[in-house]
Amino acid sequence: MTHASRRAVGLALTSLTGLAAFLMVAMLALILLDVIANGASHVTWTFLSQPPSDGMMGGGIFPAIIGTAALTLLMTLAVMPVGVLTAVYLHEYAPPNSRFARWVRVAVVNLAGVPSIVFGLFGLGFFILFVGKGMDRMLGHEELYWAQPGILWASLTLAVLTLPVVIVSTEEALRAVPMDHRTASLALGATQSQTLARVVLPGALPGILTGAVLAISRGAGEVAPILFTGAAYFLPDLPSRLNSQFMHLGYHTYVLATQSPDVEATRPLLYATVLVLLLLTFALNLVAVIIRTRTRRKAAGAH
Amino acid sequence: MDRQAVMQQGLAETIPVPRLSPEARRRQLREKAIAGFITLMAFTGIAALVLILVFVAKEALALFTEAEARHEASLSKMFLPQVVRQNRPPAFVWQPVSGVPKVSMIPLFIGTLKTTAVSMLVAVPVGVFGALYAAEFAPRRLRELLKPVIELLAGIPSVVLGFFALMVMATFLQDTLGLNTRLNAVVAGLGLALAIVPVIFTVAEDSLTAVPRSYREASLALGATPWETAWKVVLPAAAPGILAACVLGFGRAIGETMIILMASGNAAIVSANLGDSVRSLSATIAAEMGEVVVGSTHYSLLFFIGVQLFLFTFVLNMLASTWTKRVVKKLTGSAS
């Protein structure tokens, strides 16, 4: 083959790779455009502030928004301390070539790959039927109190699911804190924990926030783990106790899309719900991307 | 007193042990306590993984310990063809709620395999080629734009992808392909592809960019075109990483629930036709767990499916992480 023809073949195949990249962007644009075009007109203040009515064929999604927010808030409270401290152990405290640290890493990688529906089974089997039942017995509840699906168990299930996200981004953030900062602090007589609390963690804060935001975005969108651990089909009341069930944007989407008696009547509601859910997760992801690029640029500038 | 003891005493006298003030000792103790607490926290990850397996398996255990459950759902009933109706050849049927429960898991395996196959068939070329473009050919600006966009795609909740497959793709595909059923393995598989393309892209792109520049420069200096360099030098060098990307995507596809639950039609049909409705392992758990009696054979069966999903993805993940480590070791080893 002559050089010119090799070049031509190469160019053709190169444009094929470009096409693949374009296809991914195009699918994203298609989904966004479809959801915005069909949903935007229906996202009104009444839609955002009213509970569903007329057998899910009217009204809004207020309880679902509050339910999702409460769920992710509880999840964040549970996952952040554990995730951040695990990353701190892996990056700051583990002795070099520590076998325990290696095991933790293997576990985290595998935890990230466990199917979300299995987390749902775990939440049911562990939190509700084991922990919840045990608490009921210890606290002397005659009826089911903790041993039933509720927002606490759902949020803890999601916390286990998002643990790898937090650990990975926190570790990346810790890696970006220059070694000099630590040695300088130690040389000034600070102990390891003082260095951690006053130098390393503040330096890594943007990255840790990125992890939190990513975890929230992941947790807000997951439906499979909360199917049996607390999500409710229809519940006009807001969750008031840790063991109450709740409505959820993702679960509401699933219900509207698959269990509606009249598909055409619920279509605008469905699209509007999806639009709100997408805006929420995209806004969170965008925040994470922005924080991360900014810190990366800063880290690159520091060296 | 023998000589050794005397010598040791002498040594101890010549090297005085620094005496810590009570405050310094307290500080040391506090540091130890904090380090211990942090180490304890790090144990959570391991504990979570073990607890998941233990508690999902615990609920499935009844299938092997209780006589009634063992009779109703023995391993042969789950995996071998059974005579369902008289005078008909033995078949695989999943009908756990009926007078005589039929608990063959083969239709569910076939469903999972069909949707996974369709999604991999689309997602692997698109993901790997897209990664090749981003790593080798794209101008720098475009690459910096492409990566966040793919991250956004990865950030779409799977229930939204399921909704999109159900509402938009299903209608479009039925019109263009003329399939009999609106919801089928093709629709679910394509919806699934949307979820796993970002996974494959990200991991593949990472391992492609890990290939040292010297590889490319050497290849170009020998007269290879940019495409030949990318295809015959960079891609083979990153091969284990690419393989890991595909395996991770495969694992994600097996376990993905909401997309398949919404877009596959959920009929447990044994056939080779991709246009038929399918019921996957994961969707079966999601669809049936809500109505099952806690402690029944059916309930244990659903947890047993969960154990299988856990084990499949566990093995796939271990394979993928071994391969990614290999590519990093190989490339950094030969580059330095």
Quick one: average pLDDT of B145-173?
Answer: 89
- Strand, helix or coil for residue B192: helix
Cβ contact A111–B303 (<8 Å): no
- Which chain A residues are closer than 8 Å to B161 by Cβ? 31
Cβ contact B31–A281 (<8 Å): no
pLDDT, position B15 = 61
Is the Cβ of B41 closer than 8 Å to some Cβ of chain A?
yes
Residue of A nearest to B30 (CA): A193
Which of A16, A82, A250 has its CB closest to that of B157?
A: A250
Is the pLDDT at B335 greater than 80? The verdict is no
Q: What is the pLDDT of residues A245-277, one digit of tens each?
A: 889 999 999 988 888 777 788 888 899 999 999
Question: Cα–Cα distance between B256 and B115 in angstroms, integer?
Answer: 10
Of B74 and B133, more confident:
B133
- List CB contacts of B129: < 8 A, sequence separation 6 or more: A16, A17, A19, A20, A21
Cβ contact A14–B133 (<8 Å): yes
Nearest residue to A223 (alpha-carbon basis) of A294, A289, A161? A161
Q: What is the pLDDT of residues A38-63, one digit of tens each?
A: 988 888 888 888 888 776 677 888 88
Cβ contact B42–A89 (<8 Å): yes
A-proximal residues of B, 78-117, CB under 8 Å? none
Helices A99-113, B239-255: crossing angle, 10 deg rounding? 50
Quick one: average pLDDT of A271-284?
Answer: 91
Cβ contact B45–A108 (<8 Å): yes
Average pLDDT, chain B: 86
Q: What is the share, in percent, of chain B residues with pLDDT greater than 90?
A: 43
Which of A122, A270, A285 has its CB closest to that of B152?
A: A285
Cβ contact A17–B137 (<8 Å): yes
The ipTM (two decimal places) reads 0.89
How many contacts (CB atoms, under 8 Å) link A and B?
272
Question: Which range is least confidently modeled, A80-94, A187-201, B268-282?
Answer: B268-282
Q: Is the dihedral of CA A150, A159, B253, B109 positive or negative?
A: negative
Is the pLDDT at B336 greater than 70? The verdict is no
Cβ contact A253–B302 (<8 Å): no
The residues spanned by each domain of chain B are 102-335
Question: Cα–Cα distance between A274 and A280 in angstroms, integer?
Answer: 10
Question: Cα–Cα distance between A41 and B283 in angstroms, integer?
Answer: 33
- DSSP assignment string, B254-287: HH--HHHHHHSB------S-TTS-B--HHHHHHH
For chain A, the three-class secondary structure string (H helix, E strand, C coil) is: CCHHHHHHHHHHHHHHHHHHHHHHHHHHHHHHHHHHHHHHHHCCHHHHHCCEECCCCEECCHHHHHHHHHHHHHHHHHHHHHHHHHHHHHHHHCCCCCHHHHHHHHHHHHHHHCCHHHHHHHHHHHHHHHHHHHHHHHHCCCCCCCCCCCHHHHHHHHHHHHHHHHHHHHHHHHHHCCHHHHHHHHHCCCCHHHHHHHHHHHHHHHHHHHHHHHHHHHHHHCCHHHCCCCECCCCCCCCCCCCCCECCHHHHHHHHHHCCCCHHHHHHHHHHHHHHHHHHHHHHHHHHHHHHHHHHHHHHHHC
Quick one: average pLDDT of B272-300?
Answer: 87
Question: Which range is least confidently modeled, A242-251, B206-215, B264-273?
Answer: B264-273
Query: In the numeric block, which tokens belong to residue B83?
Result: 């005579």
Cβ contact B48–A111 (<8 Å): yes
Residue of B nearest to A270 (CA): B163
Is the Cβ of B333 closer than 8 Å to some Cβ of chain A?
no
Q: What is the pLDDT of residues A127-180, one digit of tens each?
A: 998 998 888 888 887 777 788 889 999 999 999 999 999 999 999 889 888 999
How far is B46 from chain A, CA to nearest CA, in Å? 5
Quick one: average pLDDT of B194-209?
Answer: 92
How far is B81 from chain A, CA to nearest CA, in Å? 27
- Which chain A residues are closer than 8 Å to B58 by Cβ? 125
Is the Cβ of B255 closer than 8 Å to some Cβ of chain A?
yes
- Which chain A residues are closer than 8 Å to B129 by Cβ? 16-17, 19-21
Q: What is the pLDDT of residues B29-70, one digit of tens each?
A: 999 999 999 999 999 989 999 999 999 999 888 888 887 777
Which of B254, B306, B318 has its CB closest to that of A121?
A: B306
Cβ contact B285–A81 (<8 Å): no
CATH of domain B102-335: 1.10.3720.10
A-proximal residues of B, 133-152, CB under 8 Å? 133-134, 136-138, 146, 148-152
Of A44 and A119, more confident:
A119
- Which chain B residues are closer than 8 Å to A228 by Cβ? 289-290
Asked whether the beta carbons of A160 and A86 are under 8 A apart, the reply is: no
Which of A9, A11, A113 has its CB closest to that of B313?
A: A113
pLDDT, position B114 = 92
What domains lie within chain A, and their CATH numbers? 51-302 (1.10.3720.10)
Question: Angle A36-A41-A44 (CA atoms, 0-180°, nearest 5)?
Answer: 115
Global pTM value: 0.88
pLDDT, position B9 = 57
Residue from B43, B50, B163 whose CB has the most chain A CBs within 10 Å, to mutate: B163
Quick one: average pLDDT of B215-230?
Answer: 92
Cβ contact A120–B286 (<8 Å): yes
Q: What is the pLDDT of residues B315-324, one digit of tens each?
A: 998 888 888 7
Average pLDDT, chain A: 88
Is the pLDDT at A299 greater than 70? The verdict is no
